[in-house]
Structure 1
Amino acid sequence: MLDANLTQQLKTYLVNIKQPIELVASLGDDAKSGELERLLNDIAALSDDISVVRKDDARKPSFMIRRAGTDIGVRFAGLPMGHEFTSLVLALLQVGGHPSRAAQELIDQVKDLDGDFAFETYFSLSCANCPDVVQALNLMAVLNPRIKHVAIDGALFQDEVERRKVMAVPTVFLNGEPFGQGRMELEQIVARLDTGAEARAADKIKTKDAFDVLVIGGGPAGAAAAIYAARKGIRTGIAAERFGGQVLDTMAIENFISVPHTEGPKLAAHLEQHVKEYDVDVMNLQRAEKLIPARQEGGLHEVRLANGASLKARTLILSTGARWRQMGVPGEEQYRNKGVAYCPHCDGPLYKGKRVAVIGGGNSGVEAAIDLAGIVAHVTLIEYDSDLRADAVLQRKLATLPNVKVITSALTTEVQGDGEKVIGLVYKDRNHGTSHEVPLEGIFVQIGLVPNTEWLKDAVALSPRGEIEIDARGETSQRGIFAAGDATTVPYKQIVIAMGAGSTAALSAFDYLIRLPAEERIEAAA
């Protein structure tokens, strides 16, 4: 089951097991159960501290990783390979007593949670966001005996997915009720369970002194800005709603110069690790709501956060990135994650054998259609313009797929549903003005990005598209406030360009600070 490379890697990791563990298998007569049995036996053969036992569970195939002689453990329903292989390795180590790298304050917070929490997470093996959720909940189950977690491969348990109306991954249930969908980090999950966490975080932020440079946003631009600022030896902070930003939702990255191939979550983890190597005050899970520029040159800018706290700084770098653009048609919001999806890599396996549509004929739309065509029964690609806008190589590949239909000069006007899930869409033929219905079960929206700048209205100049207007130095319409990345008027939205822009903004902020008259520096710091 494990190839030679994975076997060697796993054997190296398993020497860190400190307490014996059992792989408690629940197997049927199907092929997947056979694969799981071979996988568990392969793992057990690599360590004297691991054994395999049999015990039936309602879900087959599944297995529990249990610390011998205790109830401490986590369960996987399915084979945690693909993106979830890392989750499997971490679960083996943590159940086996190897300590987590999570902050001690957060570990203590998990241990102190009061209540009985039974979590179930539905994932797909191609989902790049799912491992973070699975790994966070697994760790919580290891740390707190009143927390239980089972991670379920949605593609393998289709009947269960249909019954519970799971149409997006990751989807998490708590004590049988819906808890959340989409990427969630350990801090976010704990904050939802610990009702006093937000207030404590706000109180902590209120005690912070003003920063020389405060970066808002933790994507590639924000991370680069924080590193370049910190290297200048000035007081630097970074506040991010979600460290990593849009990169976390990116599956394959093949145009990051000097790195032939990587994946978004891996790059985001490296960005955060790099930032933390410097003296940067990292404030994650903090959403900015209002910017109040300084009243005078060299004064303090103020950023008000959603939790009621405020941060002040002599210079700001705005790098809030962008989010998926929505169609803005009736039914879209109602059926979001109920058939309307935005990540074909994550949610595609849930639509195996079904009919779906892809909205958008650019590179992302055509790539989505190509990927989905190998999973679903049929793909209808709908493009507003008269021709597809994707690269020629992608269009040629698309044309070879027998289960894809392309409709151009079409405007999607409505998402249809039955109250619980999507059942179709309506589009208008832009050439003839006629409306047409397309029966289907899923809609993947791939029509570009919207800058996260609504909170900046009236604070800095924005373009008609809502982008922050900047000059060649990254400076905005307000002195001492800079911006970088996808939220700005930079013409090309690329990771490598965002990193360069973040670096430029940080160097410009430092140049601005050192050129302030001495008396203004003193007043600002007071």
Structure 2
Amino acid sequence: MLDADLKTQLQAYLTKLQQPIELIASLDDGAKSRELEALLQDIASMSDKISYARRDDDARRPSFAIVRTGTDIEVRFAGIPLGHEFTSLVLALLQVGGHPPRIEEALANQVRGLEGEFRFETFMSLSCQSCPDTVQALNLMSALNPNITHVAIDGALYQDEVQAREVMSVPTVFLNGQPFDQGRMTVEQVVAKLDTGATARAAEQIAKKEAFDMLIVGGGPAGAAAAIYAARKGIRTGIAAERFGGQVLDTLAIENFISVSYTEGPKFAVALEQHVRDYEVDVMNLQRASRLVPAKAPGGLLEVQLESGALLKAKSVILATGARWRQMNVPGEDQYRNKGVAYCPHCDGPLFKGKRVAVIGGGNSGVEAAIDLAGIVSHVTLIEFDNQLRADEVLQRKLRSLPNVDVVVSGQTTEVLGDGSKVTGLVYKDRTNGESRTVALEGIFVQIGLLPNTEWLKGAIELSPRGEIVIDDRGATSLPGVYAAGDATTVPFKQIVIAMGAGSTAALSAFDHLIRTSAPAEPQQAAA
């Protein structure tokens, strides 16, 4: 199952096991069960702390549990955790085997202190770059608290269960048999949802913080670069981020970050956060800003209000809030989000195997999505508002070569149709003659660009007609002491490498502002 390189890497990791573990398999006579058994036997052969047994005591087959010998600590996978989930498998082996998790001790103690019974199930796909974070968070919690159990279920292998439970996006998490959440989740987010007082306690602690020399709002590439440059100046630096990594977390392949031939978004985001934490930066995760308050006097403190109610103060602020997927804003879109309306073809595409779907948008993202989906689904209808596709010609040639793809140009989507629980079709208007047409389908993938996360800044600083923060070549905004960088600004090209350069520029400019505004006044000469 594992090639020589993976075996070598895994064997090195398994030397970190501190306690014996058992791999307990539930199998049938299918090919996937044979693959899983071969994988588990390979793993068991790599360490004398690992044993393998087949018990067939789980209704989901193939599946297996990783159990800490002699305890109730276990993690379970229903499927073969390779692809994006191989790292989840390695971490589960180590954590169940007693290797300390890489989270703050205060958070680990919160998990250990959760009372009650928590039976989590996560439906994921092996091609989903968002799923591992959720799977790993819940696995880690299972390894810390015996009252918490978790099974990661490969939706592609359990299609009947996916349909019965109306799972139409991944990751989808159930708790004690009931829907819990959808999308990427961290340990902090899960704990905050289970421990209802956690948010208030965090807000109370944040409100006690002293004023920062430089406060960065946003934890994507621009925000991370700004934080590192600020911290290296030796000033008091803070970063408040709703989710560290930003859009990078939703990016599958990164092949244009200079000097790195290939990486993947989630891996890159982990490296960003780790680099920031190498410095003395106060990182405040799961914090969304709601208001920017100008200084009451020249040289005074700026204020950033958080949705939690906490108030942060700073001598300078860098806004790096990034952007999010643009929505169609048509009837039915909100109602059927994650019930057939999706925004990540890599994540959710496998759930629509053999079905009919539409892709909205004819730029590079839309055409790439249509090409990827065509290999999974029965038919793709691509709908572009303009009278021609805007994607690169090489992508258009590939698209035109696919027999199960129809392209509609001059099409304006006007409504998402559904039966109350899932998508059944869409309506679009032919812009050449005004006629409305209906397409029967089960999934709609929206790929129509990005929208800056700047609504909370209206009235505080100058925004462009498109909602972007207006900046000059130094990253300065219309408000003294406030700088901005990245995809939320008027910078013409939205790229990771450009955002990081802009974040560095903004930090250096803000530092220059601090030097000039904190310098003592020139002594006045006495009158003659």
TM-score (ref. length: structure 1): 0.98
Determine the structure 2 residue equivalent to 1:524: none
Instruction: State the secondary structure of the residue aligned to 1:208.
Output: coil
Determine the structure 1 residue equivalent to 2:89: 88
Determine the structure 2 residue equivalent to 1:508: 509
Determine the structure 2 residue equivalent to 1:9: 9
Determine the structure 1 residue equivalent to 2:69: 68
Determine the structure 1 residue equivalent to 2:133: 132
Determine the C-alpha separation between the residues in 2 that align with 1:400 and 1:71.
54
Determine the structure 1 residue equivalent to 2:224: 223
Determine the C-alpha separation between the residues in 2 that align with 1:235 and 1:69.
48
C-alpha offsets along residues 385-420 of structure 1, whole Å, 9 cap, x if unaligned? 111000111111111111111110100000000000
The one-letter code matched in structure 2 to 1:14 is L
The one-letter code matched in structure 1 to 2:490 is T
Determine the C-alpha separation between the residues in 2 that align with 1:48 and 1:232.
49
C-alpha offsets along residues 107-145 of structure 1, whole Å, 9 cap, x if unaligned? 000000111100000000001110011011011111101
Determine the structure 2 residue equivalent to 1:422: 423
Determine the structure 1 residue equivalent to 2:34: 34
Determine the structure 2 residue equivalent to 1:43: 43
C-alpha offsets along residues 352-409 of structure 1, whole Å, 9 cap, x if unaligned? 1110000000000000001111111111100001110001111111111111111101
Q: How does 1:353-392 map to 2 (within 5 A)?
A: 353-392=354-393
Deviates more, 1:511-520 or 1:229-238: 511-520
Q: How does 1:104-503 map to 2 (within 5 A)?
A: 104-503=105-504
Determine the structure 1 residue equivalent to 2:526: none
Determine the C-alpha separation between the residues in 2 that align with 1:403 and 1:256.
34
Determine the C-alpha separation between the residues in 2 that align with 1:195 and 1:438.
43
Determine the C-alpha separation between the residues in 2 that align with 1:18 and 1:313.
45
Instruction: State the secondary structure of the residue aligned to 1:43.
Output: helix
Structure 1 residue 519 displacement after superposition? 5.4
The one-letter code matched in structure 1 to 2:414 is T
The one-letter code matched in structure 1 to 2:203 is A
Determine the C-alpha separation between the residues in 2 that align with 1:275 and 1:487.
21
Determine the C-alpha separation between the residues in 2 that align with 1:180 and 1:214.
31
The one-letter code matched in structure 1 to 2:72 is D
Determine the C-alpha separation between the residues in 2 that align with 1:213 and 1:71.
47
Deviates more, 1:22-31 or 1:295-304: 295-304
Determine the C-alpha separation between the residues in 2 that align with 1:451 and 1:516.
30
Overall identity of the aligned pairs, in %: 74
Determine the C-alpha separation between the residues in 2 that align with 1:18 and 1:471.
55
Instruction: State the secondary structure of the residue aligned to 2:331.
Output: coil
Determine the C-alpha separation between the residues in 2 that align with 1:441 and 1:517.
60
Determine the structure 1 residue equivalent to 2:524: none
Determine the C-alpha separation between the residues in 2 that align with 1:449 and 1:367.
16
TM-score (ref. length: structure 2): 0.98
Instruction: State the secondary structure of the residue aligned to 2:214.
Output: strand
Determine the structure 1 residue equivalent to 2:19: 19
Distance 1:91 1:399, change over 3 A: same
Structure 1 residue 518 displacement after superposition? 3.5
Structure 1 unaligned regions, length at least 5: 521-526
Structure 1 residue 19 displacement after superposition? 1.1
Instruction: State the secondary structure of the residue aligned to 2:106.
Output: helix
The one-letter code matched in structure 1 to 2:261 is P
Determine the C-alpha separation between the residues in 1 that align with 2:517 and 2:134.
46
Structure 2 unaligned regions, length at least 5: 522-528
Q: Give RMSD over aligned pairs.
A: 0.8
Instruction: State the secondary structure of the residue aligned to 1:516.
Output: helix
The one-letter code matched in structure 2 to 1:191 is A
Structure 1 residue 517 displacement after superposition? 5.0
The one-letter code matched in structure 2 to 1:494 is Q
Q: What is the aligned length?
A: 520
The one-letter code matched in structure 1 to 2:137 is A
Determine the C-alpha separation between the residues in 2 that align with 1:70 and 1:466.
55
Determine the C-alpha separation between the residues in 1 that align with 2:281 and 2:133.
24
Structure 1 residue 296 displacement after superposition? 2.2
Instruction: State the secondary structure of the residue aligned to 2:517.
Output: coil
Determine the C-alpha separation between the residues in 2 that align with 1:481 and 1:505.
9
Instruction: State the secondary structure of the residue aligned to 2:132.
Output: helix
C-alpha offsets along residues 411-445 of structure 1, whole Å, 9 cap, x if unaligned? 00000000000000001000011111000000000
The one-letter code matched in structure 2 to 1:413 is T
Instruction: State the secondary structure of the residue aligned to 1:485.
Output: coil
Determine the C-alpha separation between the residues in 2 that align with 1:518 and 1:33.
71
The one-letter code matched in structure 1 to 2:299 is G
Deviates more, 1:498-507 or 1:65-74: 65-74
Structure 1 residue 295 displacement after superposition? 2.3
Determine the C-alpha separation between the residues in 2 that align with 1:519 and 1:137.
53
Determine the C-alpha separation between the residues in 1 that align with 2:80 and 2:104.
29
The one-letter code matched in structure 1 to 2:255 is E
The one-letter code matched in structure 1 to 2:42 is D
Determine the C-alpha separation between the residues in 1 that align with 2:188 and 2:326.
27
Determine the C-alpha separation between the residues in 2 that align with 1:140 and 1:44.
24
C-alpha offsets along residues 263-282 of structure 1, whole Å, 9 cap, x if unaligned? 11011000000001111111
